[in-house]
A and B are shown apart, each in its own frame.
Chain A
Protein backbone atom coordinates (compact mmCIF):
# COMPACT_ATOMS: atom_id res chain seq x y z
CA UNK A 1 0.00 0.00 0.00
CA UNK A 2 1.14 3.53 -0.67
CA UNK A 3 -0.11 6.78 0.74
CA UNK A 4 -1.63 9.27 -1.66
CA UNK A 5 -0.71 12.78 -0.51
CA UNK A 6 -1.70 15.21 -3.22
CA UNK A 7 -2.39 15.74 -6.89
CA UNK A 8 -0.39 18.12 -9.05
CA UNK A 9 0.21 19.07 -12.65
CA UNK A 10 3.81 20.06 -12.07
CA UNK A 11 6.46 17.91 -13.75
CA UNK A 12 9.34 18.72 -11.40
CA UNK A 13 10.44 15.71 -9.32
CA UNK A 14 9.24 15.94 -5.72
CA UNK A 15 11.62 15.69 -2.75
CA UNK A 16 12.09 12.23 -1.28
CA UNK A 17 10.35 10.31 0.23
CA UNK A 18 7.63 11.62 -2.09
CA UNK A 19 7.32 10.09 -5.56
CA UNK A 20 5.32 11.27 -8.53
CA UNK A 21 3.13 8.74 -10.32
CA UNK A 22 2.29 10.26 -13.67
CA UNK A 23 -1.09 10.00 -15.31
CA UNK A 24 -1.82 12.02 -18.41
CA UNK A 25 -0.46 15.45 -17.56
CA UNK A 26 -1.17 15.09 -13.87
CA UNK A 27 0.77 13.37 -11.11
CA UNK A 28 -0.24 11.59 -7.95
CA UNK A 29 2.24 12.48 -5.24
CA UNK A 30 2.78 9.36 -3.16
CA UNK A 31 4.85 8.17 -0.26
CA UNK A 32 5.39 4.78 1.39
CA UNK A 33 2.50 3.92 3.72
CA UNK A 34 3.82 3.56 7.23
CA UNK A 35 1.44 2.24 9.84
CA UNK A 36 1.32 4.73 12.67
CA UNK A 37 -0.89 6.15 15.34
CA UNK A 38 -2.74 9.24 14.33
CA UNK A 39 -1.27 11.75 16.75
CA UNK A 40 -0.97 15.53 16.53
CA UNK A 41 2.74 15.10 15.71
CA UNK A 42 1.91 12.77 12.82
CA UNK A 43 -0.57 15.32 11.48
CA UNK A 44 1.95 18.15 11.75
CA UNK A 45 4.62 16.12 9.95
CA UNK A 46 2.17 15.40 7.16
CA UNK A 47 1.23 19.06 7.02
CA UNK A 48 4.87 20.13 6.78
CA UNK A 49 5.39 17.75 3.87
CA UNK A 50 2.39 19.17 2.03
CA UNK A 51 3.57 22.72 2.66
CA UNK A 52 6.98 21.87 1.27
CA UNK A 53 5.35 20.44 -1.85
CA UNK A 54 3.12 23.48 -2.12
CA UNK A 55 6.04 25.91 -2.10
CA UNK A 56 7.08 24.85 -5.59
CA UNK A 57 3.85 23.70 -7.21
CA UNK A 58 0.09 23.88 -7.22
CA UNK A 59 -1.37 20.91 -5.35
CA UNK A 60 -4.75 19.47 -4.41
CA UNK A 61 -4.22 17.86 -1.02
CA UNK A 62 -5.76 14.42 -0.60
CA UNK A 63 -7.67 13.41 2.55
CA UNK A 64 -5.28 12.29 5.24
CA UNK A 65 -4.82 8.56 5.49
CA UNK A 66 -5.81 7.75 1.92
CA UNK A 67 -4.06 4.59 0.87
CA UNK A 68 -4.00 2.92 -2.53
CA UNK A 69 -2.69 -0.49 -3.51
CA UNK A 70 0.11 0.51 -5.81
CA UNK A 71 1.28 2.95 -8.47
CA UNK A 72 -1.28 1.66 -10.98
CA UNK A 73 -4.09 2.29 -8.52
CA UNK A 74 -2.76 5.81 -7.89
CA UNK A 75 -2.59 6.50 -11.62
CA UNK A 76 -6.15 5.20 -12.07
CA UNK A 77 -7.48 7.34 -9.26
CA UNK A 78 -6.06 10.42 -10.98
CA UNK A 79 -7.13 9.42 -14.49
CA UNK A 80 -10.73 8.82 -13.39
CA UNK A 81 -11.24 12.47 -12.51
CA UNK A 82 -8.58 14.11 -14.64
CA UNK A 83 -10.65 17.06 -15.87
CA UNK A 84 -11.97 17.79 -12.39
CA UNK A 85 -8.47 17.76 -10.94
CA UNK A 86 -7.06 19.88 -13.76
CA UNK A 87 -9.76 22.48 -13.13
CA UNK A 88 -9.15 22.27 -9.41
CA UNK A 89 -5.46 22.99 -9.86
CA UNK A 90 -6.28 26.04 -11.97
CA UNK A 91 -8.65 27.16 -9.24
CA UNK A 92 -6.01 27.03 -6.51
CA UNK A 93 -2.84 27.94 -8.37
CA UNK A 94 -0.99 30.74 -6.63
CA UNK A 95 -3.38 30.79 -3.67
CA UNK A 96 -3.45 29.48 -0.12
CA UNK A 97 -6.23 28.65 2.31
CA UNK A 98 -6.87 30.82 5.35
CA UNK A 99 -9.12 29.64 8.15
CA UNK A 100 -11.34 32.00 10.09
CA UNK A 101 -13.37 31.51 13.24
CA UNK A 102 -15.41 34.26 14.83
CA UNK A 103 -16.99 34.00 18.27
CA UNK A 104 -19.08 36.40 20.29
CA UNK A 105 -17.23 37.33 23.44
CA UNK A 106 -20.35 37.38 25.57
CA UNK A 107 -21.93 33.94 25.61
CA UNK A 108 -25.49 33.76 24.38
CA UNK A 109 -28.03 33.97 27.19
CA UNK A 110 -29.61 30.56 27.73
CA UNK A 111 -33.13 30.12 26.39
CA UNK A 112 -35.54 30.88 29.23
CA UNK A 113 -39.12 29.69 29.39
CA UNK A 114 -40.43 33.19 28.87
CA UNK A 115 -38.67 33.62 25.52
CA UNK A 116 -41.19 33.29 22.73
CA UNK A 117 -40.54 31.13 19.70
CA UNK A 118 -40.46 34.22 17.59
CA UNK A 119 -37.84 35.91 19.80
CA UNK A 120 -35.73 32.78 19.76
CA UNK A 121 -35.72 32.76 15.97
CA UNK A 122 -35.23 36.47 15.81
CA UNK A 123 -32.05 36.18 17.86
CA UNK A 124 -30.86 33.33 15.68
CA UNK A 125 -31.64 35.26 12.52
CA UNK A 126 -29.70 38.26 13.78
CA UNK A 127 -26.78 35.97 14.46
CA UNK A 128 -27.00 34.52 10.96
CA UNK A 129 -27.15 37.97 9.40
CA UNK A 130 -24.09 39.13 11.32
CA UNK A 131 -22.22 36.04 10.22
CA UNK A 132 -23.25 36.49 6.61
CA UNK A 133 -22.22 40.18 6.57
CA UNK A 134 -18.84 39.29 8.04
CA UNK A 135 -18.34 36.48 5.57
CA UNK A 136 -19.05 38.82 2.66
CA UNK A 137 -16.43 41.30 3.85
CA UNK A 138 -13.77 38.61 3.92
CA UNK A 139 -14.88 36.85 0.77
CA UNK A 140 -14.42 40.14 -1.09
CA UNK A 141 -10.65 39.79 -0.58
CA UNK A 142 -10.55 36.14 -1.57
CA UNK A 143 -10.82 34.12 -4.75
CA UNK A 144 -13.36 31.92 -3.03
CA UNK A 145 -14.87 31.46 0.39
CA UNK A 146 -16.80 28.72 2.07
CA UNK A 147 -18.89 28.99 5.23
CA UNK A 148 -18.60 25.76 7.18
CA UNK A 149 -21.05 24.30 9.71
CA UNK A 150 -20.16 24.78 13.34
CA UNK A 151 -21.25 26.28 16.60
CA UNK A 152 -19.16 29.42 16.12
CA UNK A 153 -20.79 32.65 14.98
CA UNK A 154 -18.82 32.20 11.78
CA UNK A 155 -16.52 29.46 10.67
CA UNK A 156 -15.14 29.75 7.17
CA UNK A 157 -12.29 28.97 4.83
CA UNK A 158 -11.00 31.39 2.20
CA UNK A 159 -8.89 30.79 -0.87
CA UNK A 160 -6.61 33.83 -0.98
CA UNK A 161 -3.97 34.86 -3.52
CA UNK A 162 -0.55 34.52 -1.92
CA UNK A 163 0.15 38.21 -2.29
CA UNK A 164 -3.26 39.12 -0.86
CA UNK A 165 -2.69 37.30 2.44
CA UNK A 166 -1.25 40.33 4.23
CA UNK A 167 -4.23 42.44 3.20
CA UNK A 168 -6.61 39.72 4.36
CA UNK A 169 -4.96 39.50 7.74
CA UNK A 170 -5.08 43.29 8.03
CA UNK A 171 -8.84 43.11 7.40
CA UNK A 172 -9.27 40.50 10.12
CA UNK A 173 -7.45 42.79 12.53
CA UNK A 174 -9.48 45.80 11.41
CA UNK A 175 -12.79 43.98 11.87
CA UNK A 176 -11.58 42.91 15.32
CA UNK A 177 -10.96 46.53 16.26
CA UNK A 178 -14.33 47.63 14.86
CA UNK A 179 -16.21 44.90 16.71
CA UNK A 180 -14.93 44.65 20.24
CA UNK A 181 -17.82 42.29 21.00
CA UNK A 182 -16.27 39.70 18.67
CA UNK A 183 -13.19 37.53 18.87
CA UNK A 184 -11.61 36.65 15.51
CA UNK A 185 -9.08 33.94 14.88
CA UNK A 186 -7.32 33.52 11.56
CA UNK A 187 -4.87 30.71 10.87
CA UNK A 188 -2.85 29.71 7.84
CA UNK A 189 -1.55 29.62 5.28
CA UNK A 190 -2.80 26.11 4.65
CA UNK A 191 -2.85 23.98 1.52
CA UNK A 192 -6.26 24.35 -0.17
CA UNK A 193 -8.05 21.49 1.65
CA UNK A 194 -11.46 23.10 1.53
CA UNK A 195 -11.19 23.93 -2.17
CA UNK A 196 -9.67 20.70 -3.41
CA UNK A 197 -12.83 19.08 -4.64
CA UNK A 198 -14.97 20.37 -7.47
CA UNK A 199 -18.61 21.40 -7.26
CA UNK A 200 -20.66 18.46 -6.05
Chain B
Protein backbone atom coordinates (compact mmCIF):
# COMPACT_ATOMS: atom_id res chain seq x y z
CA UNK B 1 0.00 0.00 0.00
CA UNK B 2 1.35 3.41 -0.88
CA UNK B 3 2.39 5.81 1.87
CA UNK B 4 -0.48 8.11 1.00
CA UNK B 5 -3.03 5.30 1.20
CA UNK B 6 -1.70 4.42 4.65
CA UNK B 7 -1.97 8.05 5.76
CA UNK B 8 -5.52 8.21 4.42
CA UNK B 9 -6.48 5.16 6.42
CA UNK B 10 -4.91 6.65 9.55
CA UNK B 11 -6.68 9.98 9.37
CA UNK B 12 -10.04 8.33 8.72
CA UNK B 13 -9.43 6.02 11.68
CA UNK B 14 -8.68 8.97 13.96
CA UNK B 15 -12.01 10.57 13.07
CA UNK B 16 -13.77 7.21 13.43
CA UNK B 17 -12.33 6.63 16.91
CA UNK B 18 -13.28 10.15 17.95
CA UNK B 19 -16.85 9.40 17.05
CA UNK B 20 -17.39 5.79 17.91
CA UNK B 21 -15.64 5.80 21.27
CA UNK B 22 -16.34 9.33 22.41
CA UNK B 23 -19.66 10.19 20.71
CA UNK B 24 -23.10 8.73 20.44
CA UNK B 25 -25.81 8.26 22.98
CA UNK B 26 -24.50 7.29 26.40
CA UNK B 27 -26.79 4.92 28.23
CA UNK B 28 -25.86 5.70 31.79
CA UNK B 29 -25.61 3.02 34.40
CA UNK B 30 -24.82 0.30 31.90
CA UNK B 31 -21.56 -1.47 31.58
CA UNK B 32 -19.51 -0.40 28.62
CA UNK B 33 -16.76 -2.56 27.22
CA UNK B 34 -17.05 -4.56 30.37
CA UNK B 35 -13.67 -5.64 31.55
CA UNK B 36 -11.85 -4.23 34.54
CA UNK B 37 -12.96 -1.44 36.85
CA UNK B 38 -10.41 0.82 35.25
CA UNK B 39 -12.51 1.05 32.07
CA UNK B 40 -15.50 2.28 34.01
CA UNK B 41 -13.37 4.95 35.59
CA UNK B 42 -12.29 6.10 32.16
CA UNK B 43 -15.91 6.31 31.04
CA UNK B 44 -16.80 8.44 34.04
CA UNK B 45 -13.96 10.81 33.44
CA UNK B 46 -14.67 11.10 29.78
CA UNK B 47 -18.33 11.92 30.39
CA UNK B 48 -17.35 14.46 33.05
CA UNK B 49 -14.79 16.22 30.96
CA UNK B 50 -16.98 16.24 27.87
CA UNK B 51 -19.69 17.99 29.85
CA UNK B 52 -17.18 20.49 31.18
CA UNK B 53 -15.85 21.22 27.70
CA UNK B 54 -19.33 21.50 26.19
CA UNK B 55 -20.60 23.70 28.99
CA UNK B 56 -17.55 25.91 28.67
CA UNK B 57 -18.13 26.24 24.96
CA UNK B 58 -21.63 27.40 25.79
CA UNK B 59 -20.21 29.90 28.28
CA UNK B 60 -21.77 28.27 31.25
CA UNK B 61 -18.64 28.24 33.38
CA UNK B 62 -17.68 31.83 34.10
CA UNK B 63 -16.10 30.88 37.41
CA UNK B 64 -13.00 29.34 35.86
CA UNK B 65 -11.83 32.60 34.31
CA UNK B 66 -13.18 34.69 37.19
CA UNK B 67 -11.15 32.96 39.85
CA UNK B 68 -8.02 33.27 37.73
CA UNK B 69 -8.61 36.97 37.24
CA UNK B 70 -9.31 37.51 40.93
CA UNK B 71 -6.10 35.78 41.94
CA UNK B 72 -4.09 38.31 39.95
CA UNK B 73 -3.12 41.41 41.94
A43-B9 Cα distance, complex, nearest whole Å? 13
**Secondary structure call for the B interface:** helix
Query: A120 near B: Cβ within 8 Å?
Result: no
Query: A34 near B: Cβ within 8 Å?
Result: no
A190-B51 Cα distance, complex, nearest whole Å? 22
Query: B19 near A: Cβ within 8 Å?
Result: yes
Q: Which residues of A contact B16 (CB under 8 A)?
A: 40, 43-44, 47, 190
A7-B26 Cα distance, complex, nearest whole Å? 11
Size range of the chain A interface in the assembly: 35 or more
Interface residues in A1-59 (C-beta closer than 8 Å to B): 1, 4, 7, 38, 40, 43-44, 46-47
Query: B45 near A: Cβ within 8 Å?
Result: no
Q: Which residues of A contact B17 (CB under 8 A)?
A: 43
Residue in chain B with minimal CB distance to A187: B15
* Pairwise interchain contact B20-A66, C-beta atoms closer than 8 A: no
With A65-B32, A185-B11 known as contacts, the answer to whether A196 contacts B20 (CB < 8 A) is no
Number of interface residues of B (CB under 8 A): 25
* Pairwise interchain contact A7-B55, C-beta atoms closer than 8 A: no
Query: A169 near B: Cβ within 8 Å?
Result: no
* Pairwise interchain contact B25-A65, C-beta atoms closer than 8 A: no
* Pairwise interchain contact B30-A43, C-beta atoms closer than 8 A: no
Q: Which residues of A contact B18 (CB under 8 A)?
A: 99, 148
Q: Which residues of B contact A196 (CB under 8 A)?
A: 23-25
